[in-house]
Chains A and B, each alone.
Chain A
Amino acid sequence: KNQVEQSPQSLIILEGKNCTLQCNYTVSPFSNLRWYKQDTGRGPVSLTIMTFSENTKSNGRYTATLDADTKQSSLHITASQLSDSASYICVVIRDSNYQLIWGAGTKLIIKP
């Protein structure tokens, strides 16, 4: 079954700290993996897109990793800011029909 699982479900950290969010998937065939940031009441905004051959991709303070062998991805946030408070959703795209398989997201709360 094509699934994307994220952990933790929610996370609270202090401003300035780093954190890492996890994504495990069982999607096949694999095309690419994306991390989205979704602010409360808003649509998702893409942070990174990673293909099979990419291990790491950065976007400012966001760094995503991908291990295609173990089918795991992580999103690392460095020096967190209050504006990082949001849900972070991992999405895997199937290569056969470009279907998006969505995770349930990790709700991140940054406290001052």
Chain B
Amino acid sequence: DTGVSQDPRHKITKRGQNVTFRCDPISEHNRLYWYRQTLGQGPEFLTYFQNEAQLEKSRLLSDRFSAERPKGSFSTLEIQRTEQGDSAMYLCASSLIPGYEQYFGPGTRLTVT
């Protein structure tokens, strides 16, 4: 399977704990995007990388959120001191060229109790 993969698929954590998600994009794709999606809404942009450089961060990405793509391949999204409002589906997508088709992973469903 050469699609975008995400791990874990589901995560349940207690409020105040830290969580880290991983995304493996399609291998030749330079751009990697993170989105958050809540029930009944379309995905909301969080941040994106061009290779290893983080080029844009949404205002939604508070100080508790950090994303990395250290070698321009896989990426991690960490949420510190989780809050119940962080409960959502976290989607990763990758594309070959800016403006071209974004291919989405299956998402990580986070539930903060």
Chain A residues in the interface with B (C-beta under 8 A): 4, 31-32, 34, 41-46, 49, 89, 91, 93, 98-100, 102-105, 107
Contacts and interface: CB of A to CB of B under 8 A. Distances in A.
Interface of A, helix, strand, loop or mixed by DSSP: strand
A99 B98 contact: no
B91 interface: yes
B45 A100 contact: yes
B101 A46 contact: yes
A103 B4 CA distance: 23
Interface string B22-43: 0000000000000000001111
A43 B109 CA distance: 11
Contact of B104 (A31, A45, A103, A105): A45
B22 to A, nearest CB: 15
B109 A105 contact: no
A99 B31 CA distance: 13
| Dominant secondary structure of chain B at its interface with chain A | loop
Contacts of A42: 106-107
Contacts, number: 45
Max chain A C-beta neighbours (<10 A), residue from B41, B43, B105: B43
A89 to B, nearest CB: 5
B45 A43 contact: no
B107 A31 contact: no
A44 B91 CA distance: 9
A-B pairs with lowest CB-CB distance, top 8: A102-B42, A43-B104, A98-B99, A98-B98, A44-B104, A43-B107, A43-B106, A89-B42
B32 to A, nearest CB: 14
Contacts of B105: 43
21 contacts: A41-B89, A41-B106, A41-B107, A41-B109, A42-B107, A43-B4, A43-B105, A43-B106, A44-B43, A44-B91, A44-B104, A45-B104, A49-B101, A91-B42, A98-B99, A99-B45, A102-B42, A102-B43, A102-B44, A104-B41, A105-B42
